[in-house]
Amino acid sequence: MKYHYSKKEGWLGNPCGLVYFKNRYHLFFQVNPESPRYGRMHWGHAISDDLISWEECPVALSPDEELSCNSGSAVVHDGKIWLFYTSLSFDYTETVCAAYSEDGMSFTRCSQNPVAVMPAGGTKFRDPFVMRYGKGFLMLTGACVEGVAKVLMFESDNLINWRYKGEFLSDSRFGSVIEAPQLIEADGRWVFIIQSEKHLPTKVLFATGDLNGDGFVFDDEKDPFKPVEIGNDLLNPVTFTDREGAAVLMAWMFSTKMNSSAVSIPREITVNRNGGICMIPYGELRNRTVRESSFVSFGAGRLRVHFEGRTLFDKAYRECPEINVIEDVGTVEVFLDGGRETVSVFVC
């Protein structure tokens, strides 16, 4: 693939973290190197100068005294890359563990692991997202507590000792668990991203608001979460700020029908004057878009993505939106009206 990170061997899962460290971008992702299907998950690792062309590195984390090293995030602090991952035990208990590296290649597990555990009443506790905030660090985790989907909040001064602060979000509309919580600042606003267990109408949802030490104040309190990605093949986003200060998102492109997976192209997140969230191709990729694609058509008030007579996406519009398309081997990523909506589809 020209613009997407993918693997020819093993099973590629979702991205786990993005950081800029020692003049290179580092991408971490779920991978099963032992089989072309989901199994005992490891953390794969790749590096890049531009977020487009990737060089594969040795596996960063492998299961040790656990069943699987599941999803999480990465952050740079004090000359080290820190990885925070969901450690799944052989009895299926989820805890948050950490590992660090001074050279960006060899990682050492923290001797104090686990660094965070689920609160009382919890049955699911996963996808730790860690970021700098104020003079310390903030951690969000997806969770299920007493059958309700939640995002939980922790704080730390040193990335090792974490204090539970309480619920950041709680809403049964999202099902029994929220996954992949993310926070990123763009154009002076905070963007809060979650993955719902249910389709509402899609799983990946975005909200804007203000972040304070106690929680998140939504700009739209009645209906805070909106879809930006409206296709079905984009999941588990990760975000970070690049070396120029741009808010960047990458995600897992996965088709259950085709059992195909890749990491999406990088997208820059912007917030327009009306508070709407947009995603546009990152950097040089803006010059690689096409206005006309054999995979995308508009007619009779409907936008369609199709391949060899099969309609893979279909939505009604009052008028034809502005269309920009990134085509790659087996994939199409469509950006509508300057990124107000995006559609990501595996076509073959």
Rounded (5°) CA angle 154-238-222:
70
Q: Which amino acid is at 129?
A: F
Q: The pTM is what?
A: 0.97
Question: What are the Cα distances from residue 25, in Å, to 8, 79, 170, 219?
Answer: 21, 15, 34, 32
* Tens-digit pLDDT profile for residues 32-50: 999 888 999 999 999 999 9
| 254 neighbors 237 (Cβ within 8 angstroms) | no
Which helix or strand (DSSP H or E) is residue 346 part of?
A: strand 341-346
What percent of the chain stands above pLDDT 70? 100
Residues in the chain with pLDDT values less than 70:
none
Take residue 126 and report the two structure tokens written for it: 């996963």
Take residue 116 and report the two structure tokens written for it: 């965070």
222 CB-near residues (< 8 Å, 6+ apart):
none
Distance CA 240, CA 247 (A): 6
- Phi first, then psi, for residue 286 (nearest 5°) are -65, -25
Q: What is the pLDDT of residue 214?
A: 87
Which helix or strand (DSSP H or E) is residue 247 part of?
A: strand 247-255
